[in-house]
Amino acid sequence: MPQNDRDAVKFAYWVPNVSGGLVISNIEQRTNHSAEYNRKLAQVAEQAGFDYALSQIRFTAGYGADEQHESVSFSHDLLAATKTLKVIAAILPGPWNPALAAKQLATISYLTNGRVAINLVSGWFRGEFHAIGEHWLDHDERYRRSEEFIRALRGIWT
């Protein structure tokens, strides 16, 4: 039995802020990536007791994600449509500058009483990096860059 709320299991859902939700299937998808649909989904999740929503980060088409909404801005919209739900915005070091990300997230945190968090994605889709003009790093280098990004965020916030 959990001793306190910090020990309790938390529930989250994956925000379909990309078309197709990154599902590779011939079955017609019942979700969509529109803001209206996602606001309603966030409200339903909040009412059902979900603690978090995790928005995705994609820049290019593929894997059924022909259209994408930027995760941090989209997360802020979901926070504005809810009262207690926390949103985890996916961020990809490389395309994001840590100073801008720190300021953007600190502002959203201020506006929503601390209901935003980040999911730092080190990168996995080489073609996407090349398509947006980002240099592709090998696995260990991507994770070193992520560690540096986290240190930079923490440094800026303190």
Question: 19 or 88: whose pLDDT is higher?
Answer: 88
Instruction: Give the number of domains in the chain.
Output: 1
Q: What does the pLDDT average to over 18-29?
A: 69
Contact 85, 115 (CB under 8 A): yes
Q: Which amino acid is located at 31 in the chain? A: T
CATH at 67: 3.20.20.30
Residue 127 has pLDDT above 60, yes or no: yes
Residue 109 has pLDDT above 90, yes or no: yes
The pTM of the full predicted model, rounded to 2 decimals, is: 0.86
Q: What does the pLDDT average to over 3-7?
A: 72
- The structure tokens listed for 117 are 């968090």
For the ranges 13-17, 50-54, 73-77, the lowest mean pLDDT is seen at: 13-17
Question: Residue 17: pLDDT band by 50, 70, 90 thresholds?
Answer: confident
Position 62 scores a pLDDT of 65
For the ranges 41-45, 130-134, 151-155, the lowest mean pLDDT is seen at: 130-134
Q: What does the pLDDT average to over 6-18?
A: 88
Residue 50 has pLDDT above 80, yes or no: yes
Average per-residue pLDDT in the chain? 89
Residue 43 has pLDDT above 60, yes or no: yes
Q: Which domain holds residue 124?
A: 5-157
